[in-house]
């Protein structure tokens, strides 16, 4: 029953958000716990939801996605207020919070379920995402090529409740994971001063 109510609420959220003048964006930066932490810090982001996208089976769970055989990647879907934050600003946060030189892994997490990506919801998001990728390919402070894909958004499946807001619910475990995984160290190595702007 709880799962049904969560799914029903998730299904109603887009209509409610649109009525309030809010918009939707979907990004993958590796572990979705880290994606929530990164985007929750952006003023104008109303909510973040961890989930799975880009796969070929319906309503996958963590155990299935973790096999790497469903085609899904861990992702986060944002609801944001365009009057307070632009999609361009969200794209900047996206680039600076993942390793764009890595395709089927991020940091210490390996497998296609950790592949990064921009999942655009309309033609304007696609245009802005491609322009943003081109900009960072020119400006990047590192030598490697940017290989992060930009794809049309497909169905987004909400992850299990224990994954939602994991970094808030389990701060000590989260800190141990993110530090041990070398996430921040690698981001600082890649992006340098851009991360502090």
**Are 90 and 125 in contact, with CB atoms under 8 Å apart?**
no
Round to whole Å and give the CA distance between 196 and 115. 25
Burial class (CB in 10 A: 0-12, 13-18, 19+), 171: exposed
Round to whole Å and give the CA distance between 49 and 76. 5
Q: What are phi and psi of 92, to 5 degrees?
A: -60, -45
In whole angstroms, how far apart are CA 130 and each of 32, 77, 82, 109, 183? 23, 19, 19, 26, 25
Which position among 31, 34, 108, 181 bears the catalytic label? 31
Q: Is 31 noted as a catalytic residue in this protein? A: yes
Round to whole Å and give the CA distance between 1 and 149. 37
Nearest to 44 by CA among 18, 76, 82, 13: 82
Residue 77's region, left for phi above 0, alpha for psi from -120 to 50, else beta, is beta
Catalytic residue set = 31
């Amino acid at each position: 029953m709880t799962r049904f109510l969560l799914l029903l609420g998730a299904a109603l959220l887009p209509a409610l958000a649109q009525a309030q003048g809010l918009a939707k964006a979907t990004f993958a930066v590796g572990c979705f716990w880290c994606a929530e932490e990164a985007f929750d810090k952006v003023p104008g982001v109303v909510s973040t939801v961890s989930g799975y996208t880009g796969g070929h089976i319906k309503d996958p769970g963590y155990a299935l996605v973790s096999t790497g055989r469903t085609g899904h990647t861990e992702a986060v879907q944002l609801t944001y207020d365009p009057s307070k934050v632009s999609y361009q600003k969200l794209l900047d946060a996206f680039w600076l919070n993942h390793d764009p030189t890595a395709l089927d892994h991020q940091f210490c997490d390996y497998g296609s379920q950790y592949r990064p990506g921009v999942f655009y919801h309309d033609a304007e998001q696609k245009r802005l995402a491609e322009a943003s990728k081109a900009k960072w390919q020119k400006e990047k402070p590192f030598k490697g090529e940017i290989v992060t894909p930009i794809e049309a958004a497909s169905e987004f499946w909400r992850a299990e409740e224990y994954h939602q807001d994991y970094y808030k619910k389990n701060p000590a475990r989260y800190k141990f994971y993110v530090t041990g995984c070398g996430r921040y160290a690698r981001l600082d190595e890649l992006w340098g001063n851009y991360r502090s702007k």
